[in-house]
């Protein structure tokens, strides 16, 4: 029987002795020493890999259960060409054995029971191959494993959709960090200047104002022309004069400035990353960018894994992926805290996406109508534009779509803005104070209820104790009466006994003395 064994150096063909069987469970004992291994197996032929590329090609084919070009030539020359095709060829893998049998018409055998044989060959390979240094074999194995791993990874520098996936993930992480840091800045600096958060809503502008101003007492001498418009600048300065905030130390403002630097730097990098993502999306997926935008398109690619996977998704799955963002926009617009749509802090995510989609649809309709040529999917024929006819079916303006209120363009008085911010802060503090009072009142009522229950329980316990005390006293009194009655009865009995004894004595005494007296008489 012939045995095929692959190594990092090449293919080896061994001849097994006729007395041995590969299915023997004790075949591992034949590989305990090199002498026993050489008696069991004899090297008949060897095929060396000429280059690393050929080695990687043949090994990759072996892993896929296919016959590589080097193995095909080796078996054709050494087995089929020399008339050894009648002998059975032992192969480690079943798929490879089937491929060799179909391709070269060689009788092959394979099975899990042969693993002990291949394990023994691997352990005694240096002794079976004369003149082979184990260090050289380990070096070749290491080089081949690195090349094979590099081939498996199949890294392609042109795969830019991976960059899009990583960029959109980093963009989402930066948004979370900016929101967290900005919230900390507002909560920290709000103790010193709480009205500033009511006037400036933008997080970046808020951090820049704190960085330029420092303490609120410096607001009157600080210029915010590069950060804020004129009306907001005047409102900030007016609110600083009548602020209700507390005083902070130099160390506090130093730490707040450090946190503001973090917010500003992360925001600047976020802007650069957004521009990079926009350029990448326009380069790799321009059609998707035109349809849904660069951010939504990048999230779709990230959700699918790659652009090719996204293209293979059915329309129903795409609809579910897009509906998540639309539902989030609707909830945010509907559940906002603002009273009206014209307020500055009113959300407009849903409205903005709707306006963007409508504008794109109008552009696509215009392009479709401007071409004048449409192709049917059924027969592939073209239809020319029809002649204009006054049919009376003209498009009219839909007034129901006008559900967006216009924002007032008139500027408010800065002093009014500052006073409003101060009043809002006062109202917030008043509400917080009332909530604390209500909470304390509820806790007191709960405490009173608990005290009432305790007093009631205490009264019941005292009543029980009184009853027990009275019962004990009554038992003691009854015991004393019983004791007194028994003593009187005892005395009466004693008296009765004494009387009986006296009567008996008298009766006895009267008879005897009388007799004596009579005798004496």
d(CA 75, CA 45): 10
Angle at 355 between CA 352 and CA 356, to 5 degrees: 85
Alpha-carbon span 22 to 45, nearest angstrom:
20
- Please measure the distance between the N-terminal and C-terminal CA atoms of the chain and give it in whole angstroms: 165
Long-range contacts of 471-479 (CB under 8 A, 24+ apart): none
- At 325-380, the pLDDT tens digits run 555 544 544 545 555 555 555 556 666 766 776 777 677 666 555 444 444 444 44
Residue 253 pLDDT grade (very low, low, confident, very high; cuts 50, 70, 90): very high
Q: Full-prediction pTM beyond 0.75?
A: no
Rounded-to-integer distance, Cα 102 and Cα 95, Å:
11
Structure tokens at 289: 């960018």
Whether CATH 3.30.420.220 fits 2-153: yes
Contact 184/202 with Cβ under 8 angstroms? no
Residue 81: both structure tokens together: 């060409």
- pLDDT, tens digit, 9 for 90 and up, residues 175-232: 999 999 999 999 999 999 988 888 898 899 999 999 999 998 898 888 888 888 888 8
More confidently predicted of 185 and 504? 185
Q: d(Cα 427, Cα 447) in Å, to the nearest integer?
A: 30
What backbone phi and psi angles, to 5 degrees, belong to 48? -95, 145
Q: What's the pLDDT score for residue 357?
A: 66
User: What are the residues whose beta carbons fall under 8 Å from the beta carbon of 52, sequence distance 6 or more?
Assistant: 143, 144, 147
What would the two tokens of residue 101 be?
């049998």
Domain parsing of the chain, residue ranges: 2-153
Residue 455's contacts (CB-CB under 8 Å, 6 or more residues apart) are none
Q: Over the stretch 311-327, which tens digit does the pLDDT of each residue have?
A: 888 877 767 766 655 55
What CA–CA distance (Å, rounded) separates 189 from 214? 10
Do 114 and 96 contact (CB within 8 A), yes or no?
no
Residue closest to 58 by CA, chosen among 105, 6, 109: 6
Between CA 65 and CA 305 the distance in angstroms is: 29
SS3 196: helix
pLDDT interval class at 251 (50, 70, 90): very high
Residue 4 has a pLDDT of 87
pLDDT digits (tens, 9 = 90+) for 89-112: 888 888 888 888 888 888 888 877
The Cα 425–Cα 428 span in angstroms is 5
């Amino acid at each position: 029987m012939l045995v095929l064994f692959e190594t990092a150096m090449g293919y080896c063909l061994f001849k097994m002795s006729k007395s041995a069987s590969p299915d023997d469970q004790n075949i591992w004992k034949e590989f305990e020493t090199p002498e026993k291994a050489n008696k069991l197996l004899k090297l008949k032929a060897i095929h060396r890999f000429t280059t690393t590329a050929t080695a990687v090609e043949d090994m990759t084919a072996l892993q896929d259960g296919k016959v590589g070009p080097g193995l095909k030539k080796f078996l054709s020359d050494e087995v089929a060409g020399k008339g050894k095709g009648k002998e059975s060829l032992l192969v480690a893998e079943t798929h490879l054995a089937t491929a060799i049998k179909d391709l070269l018409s060689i009788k092959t055998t394979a099975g899990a029971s042969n693993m002990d044989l291949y394990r023994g060959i691997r352990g005694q390979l240096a002794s079976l191959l004369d003149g082979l240094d184990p260090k050289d074999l380990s070096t070749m194995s290491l080089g081949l494993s690195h090349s094979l791993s590099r081939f498996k990874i199949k890294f392609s520098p042109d795969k830019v959709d991976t960059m899009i996936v990583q960029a959109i993930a980093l963009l989402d992480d930066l948004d979370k960090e900016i929101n967290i840091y900005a919230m900390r800045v507002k909560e920290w600096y709000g103790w010193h200047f709480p009205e500033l958060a009511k006037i400036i809503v933008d997080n970046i502008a808020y951090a820049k104002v704190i960085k330029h101003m420092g303490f609120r007492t410096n607001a009157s001498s600080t210029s915010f022309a590069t950060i804020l418009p004129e009306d907001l600048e005047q409102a900030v300065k007016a609110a600083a004069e009548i602020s209700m905030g507390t005083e902070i130390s130099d160390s506090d403002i130093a730490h707040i400035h450090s946190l503001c630097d973090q917010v500003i730097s992360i925001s600047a990098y976020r802007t650069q990353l957004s521009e990079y993502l926009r350029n990448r999306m326009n380069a790799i997926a321009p059609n998707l960018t035109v349809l849904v935008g660069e951010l939504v398109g990048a999230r779709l690619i990230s959700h699918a894994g790659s652009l090719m996977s996204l293209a293979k998704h059915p329309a129903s799955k795409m609809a579910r992926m897009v509906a998540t963002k639309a539902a989030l926009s609707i909830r945010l617009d509907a559940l906002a805290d603002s009273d009206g749509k014209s307020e500055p802090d009113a959300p407009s995510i849903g409205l903005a996406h709707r306006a963007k989609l409508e504008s794109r649809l109008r552009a696509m309709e215009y392009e479709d109508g401007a071409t004048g040529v449409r192709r049917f999917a059924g027969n592939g024929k073209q239809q020319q534009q029809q002649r204009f006819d006054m049919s009376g079916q003209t498009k009219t303006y839909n007034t129901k779509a006008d559900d967006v209120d216009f924002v007032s363009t008139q500027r408010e008085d800065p002093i009014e803005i500052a006073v409003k911010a101060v009043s809002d802060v006062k109202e917030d503090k008043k509400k917080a104070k009332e909530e604390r009072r209500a909470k304390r009142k509820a806790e007191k009522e709960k405490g009173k209820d608990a005290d009432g229950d305790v007093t009631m329980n205490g009264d019941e316990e005292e009543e029980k104790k009184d009853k027990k005390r009275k019962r004990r006293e009554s038992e003691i009194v009854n015991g004393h009466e019983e004791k007194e009655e028994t003593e009187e009865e005892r005395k009466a009995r004693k008296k009765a006994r004494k009387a009986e004894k006296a009567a008996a004595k008298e009766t006895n005494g009267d008879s005897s003395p009388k007799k004596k007296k009579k005798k004496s008489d």
